[in-house]
Amino acid sequence: MTGETEGVAENILVTGGAGFIGSHIVDTLIAAGYSVAVVDNLHTGKRENLNPAAHFYEVDIRETDVLGDVFEAEKPAAVVHEAALADVRASLREPVTYAAVNVIGTINLLEAARAVGTVRKFLFASTGGAIYGDPAELPASESCPTRPLDPYGASKLAGEGFIATYRHNYGLEFCVLRYANVYGPRQDPDGEAGVVAIFTGAMLRGRPVTINGDGLQQRDFVYVGDVARANLLALEDRAERYAGGPAIYNIGAGVPTDVNALFRELARLTGYPQFERHGAAKPGEVRRTYLDAAKARRELGWEAEVPLAEGLARTVAFFRERMI
């Protein structure tokens, strides 16, 4: 079995494992044979997302003493760190809170991993959508200058920097996955949601949908199941990657899609009868961003497999079933 070492399943700790992306990663790891412990404060995560085979700890990653107890109890072989605040606009209103959760919380996990001494690898969910700002090149590769335009992107870049210092000083192997715009089942249309969940929820409820600005802003949409598989491949990659540069990978489909086109496809899938409505553009919004994931394909054997049309159909079906 994939997750077994000499007949004993490796124990993996997943932060944010009751959340949208984290819960899919937990399911994928358990299906691959790993034993999984979940740390989540249920701020945006949901109990119904939890895999019953996982050990669950309702813990905030800012609680250092409790985190240490969890690590001592579980003695994980690896950490998959998905817990974060991830709303760009909220980060502009609450930069201190975003730094406390996304930066200090990450350091707390690194310290707990260092102290327990069992962690062989630290996987970090970063952002390919916000870390490059308005990308200097398109599609943006990992060598593209990092110049985030908001505290959320800045907090993720800071997290990447701290993780690298733990490898340099303590030998903790790591892998950073810079996600594009992740969408799919379990995303909350009323919480820290992306545009797919927001539009889908509103359309199925028959509510007005407003497109910010002219709708020609382009994004790279990647299906959550593909993202979960990227984490599994990164976890199982045992190659020494650091001689040729840090183990940082873009995880995206590499296909630019504008918001107007997304609206039209979701309207078709949901049977939404209303026309497009456009509101004011959001200040500071990135105009065009999509990712070059060639490095992940070359080194991890990963590429996006679920086309956008299929992923949107799966997402709409999920929300429709929950709303009936």
What is the per-residue pLDDT across 70-80, written as a single tens digit (0 to 9) for each? 999 999 999 99
Contact 203, 266 (CB under 8 A): yes
| Best CA proximity match to 9, nearest among 24, 30, 25, 27 | 30
* Co-location of 19 and 120 in the same domain: yes
For residue 283, what is the domain's CATH number? 3.90.25.10
As a whole number, mean pLDDT of residues 133-154 equals: 96
Expressed as residue numbers, the domain containing 248 is 4-183+222-253+290-305
Quick check: is 272 catalytic?
no
* Co-location of 123 and 199 in the same domain: no
Tokens in use for 41? 């404060």
* Co-location of 209 and 156 in the same domain: no
- C-alpha to C-alpha distance for 88 and 85, rounded to whole angstroms: 9
Number of Cβ within a 10 Å radius of residue 318: 15
User: What pLDDT digit, counting tens, does each position of 255-266 carry?
Assistant: 999 999 999 999
For residue 166, what is the domain's CATH number? 3.40.50.720
* Co-location of 57 and 141 in the same domain: yes
* Co-location of 142 and 262 in the same domain: no
Residue 188 forms part of a structural domain: no
Q: How confident is the model at residue 9, as a pLDDT?
A: 77
**Domain total for the chain?**
2
Locus of tokens 């606009």: 89
Instruction: Name the pTM for this structure.
Output: 0.95
User: What pLDDT digit, counting tens, does each position of 264-306 carry?
Assistant: 999 999 999 999 999 999 877 889 999 999 999 999 999 999 9
Choosing from 34, 98, 152, 223, the catalytic residue is 152
